Structure 1
Amino acid sequence: MEQYNYVTSYKDNEKVRAALNKLTTDTFGFDFEAWYQNGYWKEESYMPHSLMDGERMVANVSANRMEFVIDGETKHYIQIGTVMMAKEYQGQGLGRYLMEKVIALYQEESDGIYLFGNDSVLNYYPKFGFQTSKEYVYKKTLQENQLSLDKDSIEFIEIKNPSNEERQRFFDYIHHAVTNDGMTMRNVGLMGFYLHDMEGVYYNKKLDVYVVAEIADETLYLNAIIAKEKVELDRILDSFAGAVKTVVLGFVPDRKDEFEVEEFREEDCTLFYIGEELERVEEEKLHFPTLSHA
């Protein structure tokens, strides 16, 4: 690798960051510039490890520090993401070099390392010691005759065209949010990546809670609950029950026994992990929150 320059910790280096954005755009069709300019890229949370050929970035493997609260216990994982290689540089072992470097750097400091890979790499990541794991999804049918509250009194309002003041208020809630599920992510930067524009965010004034959700075909896809105090999930579901018939959670509920559970299957996406601690995902029927994917 002597002909290439290894770089990391460069988020404030405009030229190198631009090179990362170029490779990310070419590979995935997005870049990190707005995320950086809006202040969500924190060096200690998102750490790209890259190889440069002159001023061009040709390979990258990023490590994301992920804190989760699982059944009241705090765990620190590393999620690997934005694994990229310029097409002309494939077959030179650059990806292997970076992957081995990242695993060696973070394995001892974390409770486990994981990533989500597509079908084309099912035989690739096991070469580095990764194993595959199942995830699970929780859902239920809502019965209107079981509602405990008046729907109109706890209506959720979708946030449209948020002002800067509304956005600041929302992210204040994210900063100070309490655990409202069985596997809570603590990563404000990643929430900023997904939710800066507050698309799909609803607020309930009576309950003083934000949720991130989508409604399609009479199904509520509930991806996050964001509140400064504990809120009963049933109270949230009650307010949507008149508009939807089914709820699918993008997180693990506190009380799993109140939901149907089934194996989660996402096309072209497999969970890989290193470390005995992450065996619990399959054993305890867990699900990495939808908004935690890096």
Structure 2
Amino acid sequence: MQTENITLNKQVFTLYIQYESDDNLRKKFNQLTNEVWGFDFENYYKSGYWDDNCIIYSLFIDDQIVSHTTVSTFETIVGNESIVLAQLGTVMTRPDYQKQGLSRYLMERILQDYKEKVSGMFLFANDSVLDFYPKFNFSAVQEFQASAPIVFSESSHHVTKLNLDDSNQRKLLETYVKNSIPTSSFDTKNLGLTFFYCYAYPDFGFKDSIYYIESLKTIAIVQKEENTMTILQLFQLEEQNIEDVILALATPEVDTVLFGFSPLNTDYNYTIHKEEDLTLFVSPELEDLFNNQKLMIPILSHT
């Protein structure tokens, strides 16, 4: 944990960084997160999967948290080069401390702290604050979602649904996440965040969506709704024909597959993807990448 006293607007704040192991401070953080976003990080902490890739920055005054930003770091491969990127999320300020420059201070501090540590940054901004992030040279970019029609046929590959309450099956997913080959044009490998969505928070619905295809050495996070199957993420130990994976996962009523990430195979249909009230912003290092390719941030990598 890192602690500093900061003076802003003639008030003294305490900046806490990476303090999740402090029970009292974490409780305050969870309370504000619940008030603003309707969930908290307590299950994540207790799950044991909160790792050093999730770094929390918070300003406190006395014992009250007043402003916060989370940094999540990812390993990815861009143009055959392995790099580290950072995503900013869980941005929030108590209503009575808004418009006092606290979020600006945290943004400037994080940019300074990570300028030599990462090769680029991205974030999702609420549409009500679209004018804030350009002040830090972040640009709004479009995302594109891939899709394809499916003609169902019987597959010889057996699919097993994983239960992460079973420690052996949990270890299996860990192995696949840690050792997966790239399956996306914008691969964001982060073990902790995967287990945040797939294990620590069943309410998000992904704990019940994990499928293992042993013969294809693939674990897929998949959801189906009526005639559409969405593959949110693939973890593979060896390169496989993605069409084999799709047919193994599909059921007779499915006639369309959507991807919650950017598949390496670009021979799909692409449409502009935008979640309600959210716009993707990227730092200057990533602007050309997103403007020149049809990419999306993997859904299971959002913070």
Please report the TM-score for the alignment, with normalisation by the length of structure 1: 0.91
CA contact (8 A) 1:142 1:241 kept: no
Match of 2:27 in 1: 18
Instruction: State the superposition RMSD in angstroms.
Output: 1.8
Q: Within 1, Cα distance between the matches of 2:58 and 2:178?
A: 30
Q: Which amino acid aligns with 1:216?
A: E
CA contact (8 A) 1:135 1:282 kept: no
Q: Within 2, Cα distance between the matches of 1:209 and 1:255?
A: 16
Q: 5 Å matches for 1:50-89? A: 50-89=58-97
CA contact (8 A) 1:71 1:183 kept: no
Q: Within 1, Cα distance between the matches of 2:243 and 2:294?
A: 21
The reply on whether 1:187 has 2:197 as its aligned counterpart is no
Q: Within 2, Cα distance between the matches of 1:49 and 1:193?
A: 19
Match of 1:218 in 2: 227
Gaps of 5+ in 1: none
Q: 5 Å matches for 1:163-242? A: 163-196=166-199, 198-239=207-248, 240=250, 242=252
CA shift, 1:141, in A, is 0.7
Match of 1:260 in 2: 269
The reply on whether 1:138 has 2:141 as its aligned counterpart is no
Check 1:217–1:70 CA distance in 2 against 1; reply closer, same or farther (3 A cut).
Answer: farther
Deviations 1:259-290 (A, max 9, x none): 01122122111011112334201211111111
Deviations 1:186-242 (A, max 9, x none): 110111111115321112233232100110121010011112222211101122163
Match of 2:4 in 1: none
The 3-state SS of whatever aligns with 2:12 is coil
The count of residues paired between Structure 1 and Structure 2 equals: 287
Residue 109 (structure 2) aligned to one of 101, 104, 111: 101
CA shift, 1:9, in A, is 2.3
Q: Within 1, Cα distance between the matches of 2:59 and 2:144?
A: 36
Gaps of 5+ in 2: 1-7
Q: Which amino acid aligns with 1:277?
A: L
Larger displacement relative to structure 2 (170-179 or 218-227) = 170-179
What fraction of aligned residue pairs are identical, expressed as a percent?
A: 29
The 3-state SS of whatever aligns with 2:187 is strand
CA contact (8 A) 1:61 1:81 kept: yes
CA contact (8 A) 1:60 1:82 kept: yes
Match of 1:118 in 2: 126
Residue 260 (structure 2) aligned to one of 250, 253, 271: 250
The reply on whether 1:34 has 2:43 as its aligned counterpart is yes
Residue 7 (structure 1) aligned to one of 5, 9, 16: 16
Match of 2:3 in 1: none
The 3-state SS of whatever aligns with 1:225 is strand
CA contact (8 A) 1:66 1:186 kept: yes
Q: Which amino acid aligns with 1:157?
A: T
CA contact (8 A) 1:142 1:245 kept: yes
Check 1:204–1:243 CA distance in 2 against 1; reply closer, same or farther (3 A cut).
Answer: farther
Q: Within 1, Cα distance between the matches of 2:79 and 2:241?
A: 16
